[in-house]
Each structure stands twice: as structure tokens, then as C-alpha cells.
Amino acid sequence: MATDHELTRLTTVSLDMVADFQHANPPTWTDNWADGYVPSHTRSGRRIERGPLVHNTEEALTLASTGDLVSLFPAHMRRYWSRPDIAYLSVTDIAALPYALVWRTETENDPIRAFARVAADIGTLAI
């Protein structure tokens, strides 16, 4: 969200708190994918409104920086997409976004298998 957003006076927020604001609406997301990333409802049943269409992360961040929306992102965004006009707050009542390695079977090769073994050996990491 924008650094001057009203929620930035807090250090953490809940889904009910961010449900008061519009969220990005990527046009290519299926409902299942979108709900996994940004739930359609809070645990108390409040609808989380999807607003402006965004086609990429930069568009979402730009709209968030102007206060036109609040966007939920995985925790690593704080580290890799740091911007002076964006504030990142932890959402206390949302599950971590799961990630997994995937590749097309016709492109599998020794380096891909080696990388997959290393990732499996490391296991689940919490950021």
C-alpha cells in the first residue's frame, strides 16, 4: 500500500481490515488461482473487493503507491521489490502462499533434476 495509507500507522493488519479497500484484479487469473492468492472473502465472511485490472506486478505497485488499491503480495516482495512509495504490512490471518517447482516433462534434463533434488533436500522454508 501507499506509504501514506491510513493502515500504515499499524505494523500488522487482518484480512478484515484490508477488505475495506479495493485489490488488484489480474484479468488472466482464474477464480481458483485468484482466491488462492487473494481470498474472495475474509474468515468472518466479508467480501474482499477486486477492483482495477492490472496486468503485471509493476501496475499493481503503481496503483498501490497512489492509494488506488491495496495489494496482497507474498512476504518476499518486501525484500525484492522494495520501493520508497510502498509500505508492506504483514497480514496476520492469511496462510502462507505455497510455491512449488514445476517444469515441462519434455524439457527435463540433468540440471533440472539436480535443482529439484536440492530443493527437496532443503524442504519447506518460511520467510
Q: Read off the pLDDT of residues 39-98 as tens digits, 9 standing for 90 and up.
A: 888 999 999 988 889 999 999 999 999 999 999 988 888 999 999 999 999 999 988 777
Tell me the pairing of strands 90-91 and 12-13: parallel
Looking at residue 26, the DSSP 8-state letter turns out to be -
Which has more confidence, 99 or 76?
Answer: 76
Q: What number of other Cβ atoms are within 10 A of residue 16's Cβ?
A: 14
Q: Give the residues across from 108 on adjacent strands.
A: none
Considering the entire predicted model, what is its pTM?
0.78
List the grid coordinates of 88: 508492506
6-91, what's its fold?
Answer: D-Maltodextrin-Binding Protein; domain 2 (3.40.190)
Given a cut of 70, whether residue 127 has pLDDT beyond it is: no
Query: Alpha carbon of 67 to those of 6, 91, 92, 112, 116: distances in Å?
Result: 10, 18, 21, 41, 40
Q: By C-alpha distance, which of 25, 35, 29, 33 is closest to 71?
A: 25
